A and B are shown apart, each in its own frame.
Chain A
């Protein structure tokens, strides 16, 4: 028994900030101080506050240290672990606002969160199956295999109101019911871990922090629909997640929780990993299955739906990682418990990856129905630098923007669709007044042009034409006619594309047009970029009242575009200016501005 546990985050965010070096040093220092028998070091999954990494929590006190550096370790060991004195300077500043240190779950970032899918992330060591079992893991699978019939399991999911967390929000129980109803000699359970939305990393964090929850839920799904084989299609870009899944599968097999005759019930189920190879379209269900089959990951028309003809032409269900992570909890706590959270049509919680221009970037899990205001202002700690909030982007390249006017709309599947965005897998990127909405629309179109698989014409050619128009707009070469053409193309793509990638590709354009049409018009008619982002439309100028004639800008300019003598007011020659912004960054008097 250890008297104290030090939990260090080993998720991708904190590993990138050097948490492995922290762990190595910590173990060394603990041993050197003769504490190896008393203090245990645990490498966990993600705590959520990635921006403050590397993160460390010391239990039983629950002391939360953020941005820990390797050189801080000797002090933490000798002061805190040896003498019991908290190292106050390393505490998360939110917890030290008063004389008394506030517990973590009362800080703004954690207060409104409710962790269901993430319940074990940052709590257990994901590489030890005993720790998962110790927190109630595999209990649900035991209940299901020994006490429930397959149809009971499906009914529980239907009653819980769980909807797919991958983006579209299809009721999970219904999906299972369809697949269960189709007779076949073999069926498959697939897990979509090909998290491709740029800016979304909740699935990765679950796989890294609690991989067994996904394996357990897949086995439950196998029992419910009558499948004996599962596949997890995971991004190769997530090496830590892949490694922990491999460990988890091996341990589950060793414990008899995967394989033949699980819990002596006569039920067989095994899981294989398949690595994606970097194609966004493989997040689409039919494309994902085509890819597992070893082909180009192109989608195919539906129907037939995968519940009838999926992987290798057999009935298949495909759910997303976060969806699975909820399922063991629903079985153990009952569907009523799950349905008591959230809104009328969207039950439970949703994990969001909060990023962009926000103080607390990281992973948050909140009950459905929380408002954007609560997320941005309370959990996120607001927009940094005193800037004004402009919009939040959800749903990645398939979603849209939520402007400030919808700050108080409760976030759930249906409300987001109604205001022209979508839940998506849960990326939530905050944008401030310095973000140009036309540029953002262009950015997403560049993405879809890159990622369009090329199988159907509307998507392959349509996205390219849309991008060309957006490029014209950001260069100040477009006319109002182009804008009409752009809108018309949006509707063509929505109606005629083969899969969701093409059908939703126009969303970023349509939603920015809906809320920020004036920005498009400013680019087209006034030839101005109000946010000062689109380089072709920006002019750098020197304010004669503020310029002191220090010559720093002229010396900095890589293009010799700034003229002026010492102690005389300087000027920028727009012909030569490259618009790199170096002068503006260097000016000590704030005399350079762009318009």
Chain B
């Protein structure tokens, strides 16, 4: 899951930095703490830019290359900021045979971006995901935490309009 270099300048706040340091202090004694720390850091900042990886490295003594290696291995971690509304279309098997590929393509066309990108205004980002486990409602997509099921391409304009 390769990520492009973040083009957006880093704008972390003092509060975020403190929250991260507190989380690291709580976790760093545990065995195998790096993954929970990265998960916490992504909760705080929304993504894992170089600056955040550096802070984690300084606090834990874990080398940067290891942090970068782990952060780029897992699809949940992102080095780029996501949109305010994160759209993920399920391309799991059950959704795929019910036409979620068409939904995904239609969204790319409507938003003018490809999967993995964010619209220039920072509003929507689009990703494909593999199975949210709501196969009974296929095809399914999620916008942030909200799940939309039994989708057709015709539903999309109405759903996107809710996020204007």
Contacts of B10 in A (CB 8 A): none
A-B contact pairs, 11 of them (CB 8 A): A13-B136, A17-B137, A50-B137, A198-B96, A275-B35, A277-B77, A294-B34, A297-B73, A312-B31, A362-B136, A443-B96
Contact (Cβ within 8 A) A53 B73? no
- Distance between Cα atoms of A356 and B96 in the complex (Å): 8
- Specify which of B32, B69, B96, B134 is in contact with A13 (CB 8 Å cutoff): B134
CA distance A52 to B136 in the complex (A): 8
Contacts of A280 in B (CB 8 A): 130
Whether A199 lies near B35 (C-beta < 8 A) is no
| Beyond A12-B133, A198-B94, 5 extra complex contacts between A and B, CB < 8 Å | A51-B137, A237-B133, A239-B145, A292-B35, A361-B135
> How many residues of B are counted as interface, with CB atoms below 8 angstroms from the partner's CB atoms?
38
A21 within 8 A of B: no
> A236 at the A/B interface (Cβ < 8 Å)?
yes
A103 interfacial contact with B, CB 8 Å: no
Q: Check A296 for interface membership: any CB of B closer than 8 A.
A: yes
A435 at interface by CB-CB < 8 Å: yes
By a CB distance below 8 angstroms, the chain A residues around B129 are 237
The reply to whether the CB of A274 lies closer than 8 angstroms to some CB of chain B is yes
The reply on A291 being an interface residue by CB < 8 A is yes
Given contacts A198-B94, A355-B93, contact A50 B135 (CB under 8 A): yes
A453 to B69, alpha carbons, bound, how many Å?
12
User: Chain A: residues with CB nearer than 8 A to chain B?
Assistant: 12-13, 15-17, 49-53, 195-201, 204, 236-239, 274-280, 291-298, 312, 353, 355-357, 361-362, 393, 396, 427, 429, 431, 435, 440, 443-444, 447, 450, 453
Complex contact B134–A291 (CB within 8 A): no
Residues of B within 8 A of A429 (CB): 93-94, 97
9 A-B pairs with the lowest CB-CB distances in the bound complex, closest first: A50-B136, A198-B92, A355-B94, A277-B74, A294-B32, A16-B147, A278-B75, A294-B34, A199-B93
In the complex, A486 Cα to B129 Cα: how many Å?
27
Contact B133 A355 (CB under 8 A): no
Chain A residues with Cβ under 8 A from B136's Cβ? 13, 49-53, 355, 361-362
Let me know if B97 and A237 touch, CB within 8 A. Answer: no
- Bound together, the chains give a CA A353 to CA B133 distance in angstroms of 10
Once A17-B149, A277-B75 are accepted as A-B contacts, the answer to whether A296 and B135 lie under 8 Å apart by CB is no
Q: Does B57 contact A (CB under 8 A)?
A: no
Contact A435–B97 (Cβ < 8 Å) = yes
Q: Say yes or no: A296-B69 contact (C-beta < 8 A), given A201-B135, A361-B135.
A: yes
- Chain B residues within 8 Å of A15, by CB: 147
Contact yes or no, B75 A198, CB < 8 A: no
Assuming A355-B93, A357-B97, A431-B97, is B130 touching A198 (CB within 8 A)? Answer: yes
B145 proximity list for chain A (CB < 8 A): 239
Q: Is the CB of A294 within 8 A of B35?
A: yes
Neighbouring B residues of A12 by C-beta, 8 Å: 132-134, 147
Chain B residues whose CB sits within 8 angstroms of the CB of A204 once the complex forms = 133
Q: Is B76 an interface residue (CB 8 A)?
A: yes
A31–B39 Cα gap in the complex (Å)? Answer: 41
Q: Are A275 and B31 in contact (CB under 8 A)?
A: no
Contact B131 A198 (CB under 8 A): yes
Chain B residue with the shortest CB-CB distance to A355: B94
- With the chains together, A277 CA to B41 CA distance in Å? 13
Q: Could you mark each residue 96-135 of chain B with 1 if its beta carbon is under 8 Å from any beta carbon of chain A, else 0?
A: 1110000000000000000000000000000001111111
**Assembled-state Cα–Cα distance A401/B14 (Å):** 55
Cα–Cα distance between A277 and B70 once the two chains are bound (Å) = 10
Q: Are B33 and A294 in contact (CB under 8 A)?
A: yes
In contact, B73 and A453 (Cβ under 8 angstroms):
yes
Inter-chain CA distance A440–B93, complex, in Å, is 9
Are A196 and B97 in contact, with the CB atoms below 8 A? no
In the assembled complex, which residues on chain A have CB atoms less than 8 Å from the CB atom of B75? 277-279
Instruction: Name the A residues within 8 Å of B138 (CB-CB).
Output: 355-356, 361
B12 located at the interface, meaning its Cβ lies under 8 Å from any Cβ of chain A in the complex: no
Determine which residue in B66, B74, B131, B136 has the highest number of CB atoms from chain A within 10 A of its CB, and name it.
B136
Contact partners of A274 in chain B: CB under 8 A: 32, 35-36
Residue B140 at the chain A interface, CB threshold 8 Å: yes
How far apart are the CA atoms of A140 and B73 in the complex, in Å? Answer: 40
Residues on B with C-beta less than 8 A from A200 are 131
- Smallest CB gap from B69: residue in A: A296
For the complex, what is the distance from the CA of A53 to the CA of B133, rounded to whole Å? Answer: 14
CA–CA, A355 to B69, complex, Å?
Answer: 36
Give Cα A435 to B97, complex, Å: 7
**Chain B contacts for A195, CB-based, 8 A:** 133
Shortest CB distance A166–B (Å)? 16
User: How far apart are the CA atoms of A127 and B35 in the complex, in Å?
Assistant: 27
Q: Which residues of A contact B76 (CB under 8 A)?
A: 236-237, 276-278
Looking at A195, A200, A277, A278, which has the most chain B CB atoms within 10 Å of its CB?
Answer: A277
Q: For residue A238, which residue of chain B has the nearest CB?
A: B133
